[in-house]
Amino acid sequence: MSDETGTDGTAGSPGGPRPEPLRFFGTTWVNHDSGYTSRRIGVAAGSLLTAAASCVVLRLAYQGLQLADSGAFVTVLVVAMFAICSALAFRNTWDGFGKRPDPARQASLRGLLAIGFVGSLLAYFFRSLTEAPGEKLHREEYEAALTRQRNRTTRRTGNPSKKRRRS
């Protein structure tokens, strides 16, 4: 959300670091402005409703397995697969809010995360109850970048050539 002067309307100089936008929140997480609270409520409600709808779809799939009379082993296997993948997806998504995920690991887990999508939706719901998902990580990185910028741009006072030399 930059204006024509190149500033983002947040703390920092025009040439300083810019906050990284979050999905559904943009850069409103920096100052909690421009409908941040209503966005959090909307994200929480949307992720919970999507998880509930997904569970209904999974229930229909389960009933389809029962109608197909595929056997108890296949039914237990499918239910266990969705439960385990959802638990792993929840944990992976939750951990991703606190630290940057490894791209190679994410690529290898893509199938598992797709199967356990309900877990990811629930992690998104629970995190959005306290903050924008990923806000803590982005805030730490942004504040560290601001500190580095301030340290680089602070000016020394006085003439260094007139400074007394230590013997």
Q: What is the pLDDT of residues 51-76, one digit of tens each?
A: 999 999 999 999 999 999 888 999 99
Output the pLDDT for position 3: 37
3-state secondary structure of 26: strand
| Per-residue confidence band for 16, with pLDDT thresholds at 50, 70 and 90 | confident
| Per-residue confidence band for 150, with pLDDT thresholds at 50, 70 and 90 | confident
Question: Would you say residue 1 has pLDDT above 50?
Answer: no
Question: Would you say residue 158 has pLDDT above 70?
Answer: no
Q: Which of 4-18, 30-44, 119-133, 136-150 has the lowest mean pLDDT?
A: 4-18
- Separation CA 56–CA 68 (nearest Å): 18
- Separation CA 124–CA 90 (nearest Å): 9
Q: What is the mean pLDDT of residues 107-125?
A: 94
